[in-house]
Structure 1
Amino acid sequence: MAAAASQIMLRTNSYYSSLYNLSYHLGLNRFKIAEANGFSAQTEFLPRDQPLLLPIDCKCNNGFFHADLTKTTIKGESLYGIAESLEGLTTCKAIRDKNPGVSLSGLVDKVRLLIPLRCSCPVTATEVTPQAKLLLSYPVSQGDTISSLAIAFNTTSEAIISANNRSLEEFKPESLIPLTSLLIPLNGEPLLGSLAKPSEPNLHFPESSIPITNPHKKKSRMWKIGIYIALSGIAVGAIIAVAATFLVIQMKKKKKQKQNLSKEADLELQQLSLSVRTASEKKVSFEGSQDALDGQIIGSVSSVKAVLEIYTIEELRKATEDFNPSNQIEGNVYHGCLSGKNMAIRRTRTENISKVELKFFNDATHQHPNIIRLLGTCVTEGSNSFLVFEYAKNGSLKDWLHGGLAMKNQFIASCYCFLTWKQRLRISLDVAVALQYMHQGMISPSVDIFAYGIVLLEILSGQTPISRPDKKGGGNVWLSEKIKVILQSDSPDELREWMDSAIGENYSFDAAVTLANLARACTDEDPSLRPSAGEIVEKLSRLMEESPESTEHMLICESSCKPLVNSSSANL
């Protein structure tokens, strides 16, 4: 049974939207894919619905042509889902026949399945259509007709009909059913029309400085400035990041409009960023939290519904001692205690409350261990109202990386706080898992992915999202711009110098390069090139698996730390 080189076409989708997915889960060579499609093998994330040519080895067995791919399963997959992800290039029955004894659904992780794909060899193409040099396996999509495909691939309707051993009557427009496949005879290398190919991130900037603005993209820059302002002015404690992202993705979208830095207050809806919730009163430990999530993400959502509390302004005044400065965590966020329950109370504009989809909090999503819970609201007749969150007693990721009022006020330990490399990896994964959990069943909102990329850069560098001008002058320096310049450098020392000095040499440089490139992809100016939360989780999970077990002590030493909460609230 001889094998010959052939090609199939597959559109990138939620299952296969990166070269890593295609190479790891389908056993395809990323360099051959890149060569066949005319882009760099270093291109990681691909735009959705991008047509890709996949080189395969086509075999003939008892008069039938097929190509066998080796699919590495993901926990919870089904044979039907695998067939659907390949858009009709195979069928559930064909996969089942190739893998007898395998369950139709509920597959376990990392099972290797043989996936037969429909194909045809070049010699067969010549026999069917003398001028044809190649038969391309094409997955039919909604709206395809024989005539439209003939035009798209520079062939004829008769040639397509002949290649598929069908009659004209069988190829009426309504007979082209999505999730089926056709053989398209080609006279040369296939042209995939005018659809854009994956583009490389634009990393070229003047060597003398990091650009601050782009006059041709002022509107886009203003939006990005808003994100940075949001990320740099973040509140601590219970309401930071994941909680805020939780809200932002549910907020009604407003039409973009030109704005300047003097209107920072108008961006309050985005002034919350990503963080993690820690679980110990006197220690910080990020070990083991992932295992607890395995069943929750795939499992069914609990039927227990949460009810948001409606607080009065009098209750919040009592909880915060009339918003006493001693209870201020940071910015508009205060620590409070009501009926023995610690809480974080954030002041926000009354108009913003109506923009939060409160019904979203009536399901179990907020019970995820990496997402801060919204406890209730307080709507006043004035310009300011309040959101009440559970209290994250160990503070935020921002505090642990940069310090802050929460530490200075001893809301968390004012000792020397340090996160090891393994802890930083775990935090990055846990926050990504929380995003994936929130984004199930939907395309990951690009603003969330951008914000996550900024946090990832903070975790790597220990720097704030924006560096203010120094005494020598100059403009603001953005982390997302700086990393592009660093990654285009030929010297690895630039990345080493950029990494958080607190880590020292106790980290994997290869893993750091991978994370830096991932962060760069997350902050790409083109939202379509940003990875999904699922893809981020997949890559970080692989890094965690490859990370050697360390003998370093993963917990902060108790003896060197003060209590993580004020003595006034320790007994609350």
Structure 2
Amino acid sequence: MALTMLPLLALSALFVYPNIASTTPPDTNFTCSADSPRSCQTYLTYRARPPYANLGNISDMFGISRLSIAQANNLTSENERLLYDQLLLIPVKCSCNENSYFANVTHSIKKGDSFYVVATSVFQNLTNYHAVEDMNPSLNPTNLTVGEPVVFPLLCKCPALFRNQDKYLITYVWQPKDEILQVSSMFNTSSYDIVNENSFRNFTAAVCLPVLIPVSKLPIFPPPGFKSRRSKKGQITFIVLGTFGSFFLFVLSWFLIYKYRSHKTKIILARKESSPFEFTDFLYTKKALKHEANVPAKNSQDKLLAGVSGYLSKPIVYNRNEIMEAKSKPHEFSKTNGNYAENGSLDKWLFPRPLSCSSSGSSVHVSLSWAQRLNLALDIANGLHYMHEHSQPSIAHRDLRTSNILLDSKFKAKIGNFSAARPAISSIMLKVDVFAFGVILLELLSGKKAMETRDEGEICMAWKEIRKIIDVEDKREESLRLWMDPNLGGFYAIDAALNMAVLARACTSEKSADRPGMTEIVFNLSVFAQASSEMYERSWTCSDYICKLLLLYLANVVLVYDPPTCMTRLFR
């Protein structure tokens, strides 16, 4: 029986092992390739601990000068006293050794030393004993001679040539109580950059291991215990200030209430002296309010106009049904405040709902032409340009989508729904609008929603699709034609479509700093529209009464194009 189970166990191991291997968490990558920089000046972090608790011992251990350490850490003197566990930046030269980056430091073996002891205690896990063994193949790790020089390869890395924003990659040993936000604040960098640079590794499993911290400039570390020495004094100060502040707010509130009541009493007395009718009316109001308090809340809310009553200082009572009837039947003096969007929102034209089963067989689907789509994009861009560049302060819409773009009778686009709009306190808020505008451009080009779920459950994103098309030069135009809205019927210049796609690609860049501003976008769209208009005038001539119709028969489909109205109709 045991023998018969062996083949099954072997097969199960074959299937289970790849799954286990595929879930191995990633580690920090210290490797280098042929395209990587061969060497660079970078920094390691080191904590001042006995016997290496002063600049002299630390500089001798790393084989560098005290002055270089003092300058890197903004110390006032080479003899400045260091606090216990004070974090220091150690300047080193990082070089690519075969396929890994190392900063080689020579250390003389002392009594009781081993590769593991020196790597973990002296160099504080900036390297590991496996790398030390590989770097010193001629030495016997179990039989080291006192005074024998050993090369310890400290882990480091040079930033890639194309990463201009990261000037240094600092090697830092993750501590047991470290957290991403705390470390990012200490190094004055972003949490995402740290996680991304370390291959999205599990930092809980990275305790006492070296990781990479990308920075654009060198940080200045506060001395350890800075908070602890002043925490007690700070707590006492906070309690005293909080007590006095609360007392001051209480006195101020009491004084304001007293002044308000005194002012209200003076107004009542003045009314009484000036007009007996007004004073009687006030008394009636007070009585009415008391009477309303005895009425159930539901009935009171149905009949009392709170806003008007508060303004007139007396209850104004109407029936709710009467108010609704008056609103639904406006008289001849009522007027609508605002532009009326006769053609509804843009999404109704780009993503029409499928016809129901009860509709007739000969249905007509009206699609936007290329010229219309280009003009709509320019209208939206002009609106955003005004909000971003010409309003004070700049306004970020924050909810730009096709359902919030309204079309009038002449298919002029208007930006609507400003419920989420806010003053732009940073340029990133404006760049979010630029990304949303790029998404609308993609929907105008493709005739599809920017995010769709396919049959197999995969989420399709238009801005990722256009990157694949634009970034691959081989057969770019053919790929773009297949991706474009088929309802256009090919009635567009492929160069103009490609220019629009490149602009949409720039607007939807992952980094907000790479996205263009609305001034640049409006200029480009104006050039595209002018070029398209000139090409259109050369291609079509039309009188005021007779228009040329282009009929295209494809599988019982008739595509009718009307130049003056710029309308494309599909008849089935």
The normalised TM-score by structure 1 is: 0.31
Larger Rg belongs to: 2
Higher relative contact order (CA 8 A, sep 6+): 1
